[in-house]
Each structure stands twice: as C-alpha cells, then as structure tokens.
C-alpha cells in the first residue's frame, strides 16, 4: 500500500510549488508537480506598446527580473528585425553573466546546500581540522582556523537563543546526512560568506542596469547605458574599474570556494549521481551574442534526445525554424481553459481553476513540449549541449571534474549532476564577465561608440520571439503585434519546462519524472525528494509568495 505525501511549499525562494508523491516499497512511485499561484502578466500586457513590454515582463519574477527583460526586448527586436550594436550586446552579456553568478551562488549555498549540510553537526567540528581540510582543497584566504572558530562560535550563540530562524525547518540529524562535522562547518562558513559575494555580482548588474532587481537600461535597439570613458555622468573608467574589482572578487570566490565545495560534497554523496535523472531530453539555446545581427554566439546551444550525446542537434542561433515551430504548450492538466496544445504565438491564457485533482487538473503551470516531447532545461542542458558541441572550454572542465569524481559524463544526468553542472557554469560565467568587459573597452577604444540604434516601429502585424539561456534554463518570450500594440504575449519560462504537469498523453514533466524512484527513508521527513526538486533550482517564476513576519507555519508536510 502506498502513502501520498504533500510538501507545500517545497521552494525556499519566490513562488509556491507543491509536490505530491506516493511511496511504495521505500521509493517514490508516482508524483505531481503543482504551481500554486498565478499572476497573469500576459493578460496585463495586451494592448500595450511592445517597446515597453520588457519593463512589465520583469514582474514575471521578483528575483530573476533581468532574464525576462532580456528575453522580452529580444522578442520585440526579433519582431521588427532590429540590429543591436556590439557595445550594447557586450553590456547585456556582462549583465547576463553576472546575474547568472548571483543566481548560482544563492542557489547552491542558500537554497539547496542545507539539503546536504547538517548545520547542527557543525557545532561538534574541530576548527583546526576544518582549516587543514579547506586549505588542502583551496588557497582561498578565508579558510583560516580563526575564521572557522569564529563561525562555530557564532553558530553556537545562535543555537543557544533557541530561535533557529531560517534554519528552523531543516532535517538536522536525518540519516541521509553523511558529511563529517568538519565539512559541515566548512560549508556553513562559506554559506555565510556567500551572502557577501552574491551581493557583489548584484552590484555589478546594478552599475550597468541602473538598479537591481528590475534593470532600467534596455531599449529596443540597444541599451540606455551611455558609454563615454572620459565623462563623469556615463559609464566611465571609474565605473569600469569598480566593475572589474567586483567581478574579479566574485570570480575568485566562485573558482576557489563554490566550485570546490560542490565537487567535495558531490564526492561524499556519489550515490546521488544515480538518482533524479527523469526526463532526459534536453534543450539549451545559444547565448552571449558577439555581433549586431545575432548570428555569432559565444556559448553553444542544442537539443539532446534520450540522454545520448551522440543524438545531438546543434543550434547555431535564435532563428532556428525547427525550434521556433516545434514548441507547444498543453493545458490538459492545468487550471486554464481546456484546449488543444497551442504554439506560443497562438497561446491563450484563460484561467479556469478547479481544485487539486490528481487525475485531472492540478497546477497553474502549462506543459511545454518540443516536438511533442517533454524536455529538461537548465545548466545541465547547457553544459551537456556545449560538451556535445565540442566547446573546448566546457569539455576541459567537464572531463576534469568527472575524472576527479570518478564518474562518467553520463552520470551528470542526475540530482547531484545538476549541482555539478551549475558549478561548472558558474566558473564559465565568471570568466566570460571579465572577457566581455575587456571586449567592450577594446571595441570602444577603436572608435565604435554606438550603444543604441534608433528604430521606428511600423504599422501592421508582426510577431517575434526572444530566446535567452537564463540561469534556470531556456526562456522565451513571444509577442504578436498589431498596429504597434500587443495583440498576444506568451512567456515559456524555465520553471514551466521543468515544473510542468503531465500532458494530454500522460507524459510527466521533468520534476515529476525525476522524483520517481527516489528513496524515501522517512515519509515524515522526505529529504530525498526535496534534494532532487531543489537541484533544479525551482522558482515558480509567475508567482510571488508572502513571508509571515510572525513566524507562522511556512512548510506543511502531510502524510495520507
């Protein structure tokens, strides 16, 4: 007999994601992924000027606002065939890379590490042994005995208050927690340091974007970031020096701390390279354009079927007709007006709520499909696609990590593999940020000072799509314009690809498929399910949840 268990919410960040699953024989036998809130930004956009859509579209999310701005502005530029000057592309590329870094640092340390790290165990660690361990892994200057001793004392004082705050709902002492006390103390210390470094990446985005979250510097045809290295009121050499300093510090933290921590923790949970594979069709779009016409990209994209890297089709740009025409969304099990699967240009967003119906409708997420198949998106998809495409930088680091861990590349298609590929992507984002800053300085110094093209918007009907490889995976915004007003607008976001429900054929989405087969040692503390779902970096992008300042119940686990 199986038990059905509900975790609501399972997310540690914006948005309500509910996971229901049944356990039989100590393993998950069936699962449901349910987005619990709906915002309806698509309907708010109808009738508005398409050039303004990127400002509204950032409100799809309260955290990853930048990605929606990028995708939205690309959709209107695609609709009207607008070229973007190289300087503007490079400014956008820096913003994209730094935003990715902030996202990945926050995800690993603050949204998922506590699924693997036992904070309470760190109280029994020896700071001297912790320092010796940390220094054997990295020469980062923050790995001193004094630092770890101070963190242990801070943690002990926090525990003695009897109010664990954000640590209150952890499954401390769970039998699936395997790390020794010294590793737990090391990770706890880096958890706290990571708060400072994610802020540096956010500050870099704000310097270029005007503010963060919700950047203010985009316009159809470029950016509004005035560039003049000799002017006090523009992006000048003082701002460039500050950017370089922030990005260098963040790069060092990522390379010397985050990357090593993920690999070290992965080496101690090697069984988790065998769980959580789920849907093994992958999609990633090319990112980081290096020309005005969006024909040359610095990072590869592609489509992989069945987890076989030999079954790979490279995507060279964002105009791939098979990709554009192959995407549909199903509402068979979603709380929208029932219809046949629609292409995003024809998509309809008409809410029709029922209740949670396990065999019927149970989520606000639609079910995106590529050529009728579910696909998984995210850093795992981009790293596997780049590896399959032969990207030398990616191949080198993937082969090195897999050798160090003693695993095959195929094993990255797993719960722990999603963490490892995200750490690899972090290293790449850190290097590319500084590369694009150097390219911007070089291009401007050669006499190219243009950062935006003025474009008149003609009357008539147009349609455009803006793809972006966001931190959580492939994002696309689709717009139909009629006489300079938005006639239709649809966003197919990474969390919809991954968190989507079953389709009309009964095929499960990536979250649902990845949980099946996961072990569950204690149904009242389903840590194993949480680990797999959190490895995707779940954030229901079209939802915002409230934090209860009185500390009332935020997590509810039911066993029925």
Q: Does the CA dihedral 10-14-16-19 come out positive or negative?
A: negative
CA 47 to chain centroid: 30
- Helix or strand run (H / E) with residue 494: helix 494-499
137-157 burial, b if ≥16 CB within 10 A, otherwise e? ebebeebbbebbbebbeebee
Is 495 an annotated catalytic residue?
A: yes
Say which of 33, 34, 61, 100 is annotated catalytic. Answer: 61
Tokens linked to 456? 């008149």
Q: How far apart are CA 470 and CA 289, in angstroms?
A: 14
Tokens linked to 373? 């198949």
64 marked as part of a ligand binding site:
yes
Show the CA angle centred on residue 129, arms to residues 127 and 134, nearest 5°. Answer: 90
Non-local (6+) Cβ contacts of 471 within 8 A are: 64, 67, 99, 100, 103, 104, 107, 379, 537
Tokens linked to 353? 């709520």
In DSSP terms, 336 is beta-bridged to 351
Is 77 an annotated catalytic residue?
A: no
Say which of 12, 16, 18, 68 is annotated catalytic. Answer: 68
Is 539 an annotated catalytic residue?
A: yes
Cα separation of the two ends of the chain:
11
Say which of 22, 64, 386, 531 is annotated catalytic. Answer: 64
Is 61 an annotated catalytic residue?
A: yes
77 marked as part of a ligand binding site:
no
Is 219 an annotated catalytic residue?
A: no
**Cβ–Cβ < 8 Å for 107, 422:** yes
Say which of 12, 14, 72, 402 is annotated catalytic. Answer: 14
42 marked as part of a ligand binding site:
yes
**Cβ–Cβ < 8 Å for 75, 486:** no
Q: How many CB atoms lie within 10 A of CB 158?
A: 14
**Cβ–Cβ < 8 Å for 85, 491:** no
61 marked as part of a ligand binding site:
yes
524 marked as part of a ligand binding site:
no
Q: What are phi and psi of 474, to 5 degrees?
A: -65, 125
219 marked as part of a ligand binding site:
no
Say which of 495, 502, 514, 528 is annotated catalytic. Answer: 495
Work out the angle between the directed axes of helices 392-405 and 259-268 (0-180°, nearest 10). 40
Is 373 an annotated catalytic residue?
A: no
48-63 burial, b if ≥16 CB within 10 A, otherwise e? eebbebbbbbbbbbbb
Is 419 an annotated catalytic residue?
A: no
Query: Which residues are annotated binding-site positions for Mg(2+)?
Result: 42, 545
The annotation places the binding site for Ni(2+) at: 61, 64, 539
Active site residues: 14, 61, 64, 68, 472, 495, 539, 542
Which residues are known binding-site members?
42, 61, 64, 539, 542, 545
Which residues line the annotated binding site for Fe cation? 64, 542
């Amino acid at each position: 007999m199986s038990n059905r268990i509900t975790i609501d919410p399972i997310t540690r960040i914006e948005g309500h994601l509910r996971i229901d699953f049944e356990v039989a024989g100590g393993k998950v036998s069936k699962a449901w992924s349910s987005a619990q809130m709906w915002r309806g930004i698509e309907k708010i956009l109808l009738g508005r000027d398409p050039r303004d859509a990127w400002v509204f579209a950032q409100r799809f999310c309260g955290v990853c606002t930048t990605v929606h701005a990028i995708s939205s502005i690309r959709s209107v530029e695609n609709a009207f065939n607008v070229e973007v000057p190289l300087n503007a592309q490079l400014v956008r590329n820096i913003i994209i890379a730094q935003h990715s870094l902030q996202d990945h640092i926050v995800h690993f340390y603050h949204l998922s590490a506590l699924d693997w790290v036992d904070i309470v165990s760190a109280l029994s660690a020896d700071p001297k042994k912790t320092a010796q361990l940390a220094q054997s892994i990295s020469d980062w200057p923050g790995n001193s005995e004094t630092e770890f001793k101070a963190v242990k004392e801070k943690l002990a004082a926090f525990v003695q208050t009897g109010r664990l705050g954000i640590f209150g709902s952890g499954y401390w002492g769970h039998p699936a927690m395997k790390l020794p006390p010294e590793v737990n103390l090391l990770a706890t210390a880096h958890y706290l340091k990571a708060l400072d470094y994610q802020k540096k990446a956010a500050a870099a985005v704000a310097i270029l974007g005007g503010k963060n979250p919700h950047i203010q510097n985009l316009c159809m045809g470029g950016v509004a970031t005035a560039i003049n290295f000799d002017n006090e009121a523009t992006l000048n050499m003082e701002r460039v020096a500050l950017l370089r300093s922030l990005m260098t510090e963040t790069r060092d933290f990522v390379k010397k701390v985050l990357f090593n921590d993920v690999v070290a923790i992965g080496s101690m949970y090697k069984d988790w390279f065998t769980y959580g594979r789920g849907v093994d069709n992958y999609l990633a779009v090319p990112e980081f354009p290096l020309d005005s016409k969006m024909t040359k990209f610095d990072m590869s994209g592609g489509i992989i079927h069945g987890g076989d890297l030999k079954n790979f089709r490279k995507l060279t740009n964002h105009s791939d007709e098979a990709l554009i025409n192959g995407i549909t969304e199903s509402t068979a099990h979603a709380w929208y007006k029932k219809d046949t699967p629609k292409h995003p240009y024809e998509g309809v967003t008409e809410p029709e709520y029922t209740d949670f119906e396990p065999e019927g409708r149970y989520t606000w997420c639609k079910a995106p499909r590529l050529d009728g198949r579910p696909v998984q998106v995210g850093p795992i998809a981009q790293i596997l696609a780049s590896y399959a495409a032969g990207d030398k930088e990616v191949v080198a680091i993937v082969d090195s990590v897999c050798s160090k861990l003693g695993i095959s590349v195929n094993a990255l298609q797993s719960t722990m593999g999603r963490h490892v590929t995200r750490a690899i992507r972090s290293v790449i984002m850190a290097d590319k940020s500084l590369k694009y800053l150097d390219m911007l300085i070089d291009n401007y110094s050669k006499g190219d000072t243009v950062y935006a093209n003025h474009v008149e918007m003609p009357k008539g009907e147009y349609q455009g799509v803006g793809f972006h490889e966001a931190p959580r995976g492939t994002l696309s915004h689709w717009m139909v314009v009629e006489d300079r007003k938005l006639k239709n607008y649809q966003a197919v976001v990474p969390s919809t690809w991954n968190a989507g429900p079953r389709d009309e054929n009964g095929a499960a989405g990536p979250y649902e498929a990845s949980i099946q087969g996961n072990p569950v040692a204690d149904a009242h503390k389903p840590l194993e399910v949480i680990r797999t779902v959190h490895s995707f970096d779940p954030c229901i992008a079209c939802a915002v949840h409230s934090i209860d300042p009185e500390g009332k119940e935020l997590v509810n686990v039911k066993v029925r």
